[in-house]
């Protein structure tokens, strides 16, 4: 009996954690005298991606994480795999090994030991969002977490996720920063 109770509590807790990840982005309350502004992360269920934003330091909801990695660990299972920007896979073929199997409009994306055909145009737009054309002499803003450099992205430029002196570049699916 205790085993079933423990399994039930574990399962419902896991479901609650994921449901927290589907809460809308909240930048926090303003004015906020007690807290300090800082970069936090939220999970965007539309694109199934963790994104940065400037948190006011007060209020907000449970879709609020101290780091990009904490957001990913909490909101997506380690074996999650899908097409860029959570776009649906192409219908045929169901699995692939090479891009040519996906036709002219598809690209084969690998994960978990097999590939799926994804929309090539969406994949190219996501790649363009990660690598915007920054002004001459500037580069895409990266941050390091656990020794791994990553591109800082936000849902939109209104997320105020860019460091001081950087320019926000709004893309199709998310915004990046150039400095």
Q: Please state, rounded to an integer, the average pLDDT across all residues of the chain.
A: 89
**For the chain, how big is the Rg over CA atoms in Å?**
19
pLDDT, residue 94, reads 82
Q: pLDDT digit string (tens) for 18-59?
A: 789 999 999 999 889 888 999 999 999 999 999 999 999 999
Strand partners, 176: 153, 169
**pTM, entire model:** 0.84
For the four alpha carbons of 33, 23, 118 and 69, in that order, the dihedral sign comes to positive
- CATH of the domain spanning 2-80+131-178, picked from 3.10.20.600, 4.10.410.10, 3.40.30.10, 3.40.50.280: 4.10.410.10
Strand, coil or helix: 53: strand
Of 167, 103, 104, the residue nearest 139 (C-alpha): 167
Assign 34 to helix, strand or coil. coil
All structural domains of the chain with their residue ranges: 2-80+131-178
pLDDT reported for residue 119: 97
């Amino acid at each position: 009996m205790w085993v079933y109770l423990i399994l039930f509590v574990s399962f419902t807790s896991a479901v609650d954690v994921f449901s927290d990840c589907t809460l809308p982005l909240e930048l926090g309350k303003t004015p906020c005298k007690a807290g300090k502004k800082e970069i936090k992360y939220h999970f965007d269920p539309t694109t199934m991606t963790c994104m940065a934003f400037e948190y006011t330091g007060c209020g907000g909801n449970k879709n609020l994480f101290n780091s990009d990695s904490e957001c990913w660990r909490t909101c997506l299972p380690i074996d999650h795999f899908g097409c860029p920007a959570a776009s649906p896979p192409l219908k045929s073929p169901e699995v692939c090994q090479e891009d040519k199997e996906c036709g002219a409009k598809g690209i084969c994306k690998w994960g978990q030991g097999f590939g799926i055909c994804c929309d090539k145009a969406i994949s190219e737009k996501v790649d363009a969002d990660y690598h915007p054309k920054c002004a001459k002499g500037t580069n895409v803003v990266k941050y390091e977490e656990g020794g791994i450099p990553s591109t800082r992205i936000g849902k939109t430029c209104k997320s105020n996720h860019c460091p001081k002196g950087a320019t926000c570049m709004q893309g199709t699916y998310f915004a990046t920063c150039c400095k």
